[in-house]
Amino acid sequence: MTEIKSETSQMPHVLIIGGGFAGLHCAMKLADAPVRVTLADRHNYHLFQPLLYQVATAVLSPADIAAPIRRVLRHQQNVRVVLARLLGVDLENKLARFPRGDVSYDYLVLASGATHSYFGKEEWANLAPGLKTVDDALEIRRRVLLAYEAAEWEADPAARQAKLTFVVVGGGPTGVEMAGALKEIASQTIPKDFRHIDTTTAQVILVEAGPRLLAALPEPLGQRALKDLQQMGVQVRLNSLVTDVREGEVSIGADLLPAENIIWAAGVRGSEVAESLGCELDPQGRVPVAADLSLPGHPEVFVVGDLAHVEDAATGQLVPGVAPAAIQMGQHVAKLIKQERAAGKPLEPRSPFRYRDKGGMATIGRNRAVAHIGGRHFSGFLAWTIWSLVHIIPLIDFRSKLSVIFSWFWSYFSLSKSARLITGRPKLKVKTALGVVSGSEEQKR
């Protein structure tokens, strides 16, 4: 990467990896700091992951929930945005390795987030896509819509039912939201669009290894989510550990579920960047950091957001992998860097990170959600309204807010999902009237 030569070149260089919640908010908070900031991301957009399942289920389009990082930061003169994937870090020489060369830093902020975890069964990834990026969401949307197309053409009842069976693995917020949305598509959105199949017979099965749904929320809210999903017609299987995933079927011990559509919402691990640090990671591949979010032994390196394993300085509890925590961590690090630049020397000790827990929530379907805010529990329409507001306000730009509000109104009153386009090709083979649609080609069989 070429260095920018200007009068600011002598200023300390803050290199931020990742333009997600943590990295972006760190960069924005450094707007008035006497530092040069470089923000590198492998994508050119900031993604609002909490609404990603709505892209996967055709309610929203990708541009509704993603914004170019370059545009978001266009008015901030001390930031340079680069499209680049970090390969690793040379901690001793303070160098970040990119495919086109090394970049030196005075401060490094690692905010590269998390990725899916298949618990050592990486071969399941292609069979059961997870939901983390725009590409993941489009792959799921493609497979879901193609499943109905394939079922419409299928003469054999058992094969048709397998095509109309959707298994969602993982009963956290993403799994609950996906399962509810898939059932709504089958029972409300598309029944009138097909002639041969009855889409209301589509089965949505939510499989959770633990004894309850939404384990991060209080027990009564998990119970309420279970009741709501069951009322909507979702089959929920608790205490059910998925032991194998093969093309067209899922095993839960000796129990075999024929299902052509499998979606993975069961686990995450820190992004692969963590492995290049050479330190011991936690079992989820996250980087254990000191109370100020720095890498032990390297006060110039910070790890923030989903990639960090950090205990809250006030409660001793592990800080959860949620957007507010990532934002707060990014802002905390920016504050520390600003304080050090103002003092002109390293601060000893630095103030520890304190997480302000704003509660948690999950939406289940139309007029159905659960929320835990300020120690109070909400459910039903009220929780759904709160959920909607809470997910509109933090969208990064005004255009996205307007677009999402319009799509939601449209979807609410028409019961229709406007982004139902099948584009590209699924990674897995799907037999439709077009032939076998797969990977990069259409085979005429």
Ligand X SMILES: Cc1cc2nc3c(=O)[nH]c(=O)nc-3n(C[C@H](O)[C@H](O)[C@H](O)COP(=O)(O)OP(=O)(O)OC[C@H]3O[C@@H](n4cnc5c(N)ncnc54)[C@H](O)[C@@H]3O)c2cc1C
Residue ranges binding ligand X (CB under 6 A): 17-23, 40-43, 49-50, 52-53, 85-86, 111-113, 131-132, 173-174, 271, 273, 305-307, 321-324, 326
* CA atoms 333, 338, 343, 346: torsion sign: positive
CA angle 276, 278, 279 (to 5 degrees): 125
Question: Least distance (Å) from ligand X to the CB of residue 34?
Answer: 25
Nearer to ligand X, 78 or 388 (CB): 388
Which among 285, 300, 270 is positioned nearest to 95, based on CA atoms? 300
Residue 6, both tokens:
């200007």
Question: Least distance (Å) from ligand X to the CB of residue 23?
Answer: 6
* CA atoms 42, 299, 305, 404: torsion sign: negative
Nearer to ligand X, 33 or 307 (CB): 307
Question: Least distance (Å) from ligand X to the CB of residue 309?
Answer: 12
Nearer to ligand X, 73 or 86 (CB): 86
Are 114 and 306 contacting, i.e. CB atoms less than 8 angstroms apart?
Answer: yes
Question: Least distance (Å) from ligand X to the CB of residue 372?
Answer: 12
Residue 437: beta bridge partners? 430, 442
Distance separating alpha carbons of residues 380 and 362, to the nearest angstrom: 11
Are 403 and 64 contacting, i.e. CB atoms less than 8 angstroms apart?
Answer: yes
Nearer to ligand X, 318 or 433 (CB): 318
Residue 393, both tokens:
């306000």
Residue 104, both tokens:
């030196």
Which of these is catalytic: 139, 152, 177, 184? 177
Question: Least distance (Å) from ligand X to the CB of residue 244?
Answer: 24
Residue 15, both tokens:
């290199």
Question: Least distance (Å) from ligand X to the CB of residue 157?
Answer: 34
Nearer to ligand X, 131 or 204 (CB): 131
Question: Least distance (Å) from ligand X to the CB of residue 50?
Answer: 3
E strands present in 289-337: 294-295, 298-303, 308-309
CB-based contacts of 238, cutoff 8 Å, min separation 6: 171, 208, 210, 211, 212, 213, 226
Residue 272 known to be catalytic: no
Nearer to ligand X, 78 or 276 (CB): 276
Nearer to ligand X, 118 or 197 (CB): 118
What's the Cα-to-Cα distance from 323 to each of 41, 215, 249, rounded to whole Å? 18, 17, 34
CB-based contacts of 254, cutoff 8 Å, min separation 6: none
Distance separating alpha carbons of residues 350 and 98, to the nearest angstrom: 30
Distance separating alpha carbons of residues 328 and 339, to the nearest angstrom: 16
Side-chain-facing half-sphere of 41: CA atoms under 13 Å: 23
Residues serving a catalytic function are 177
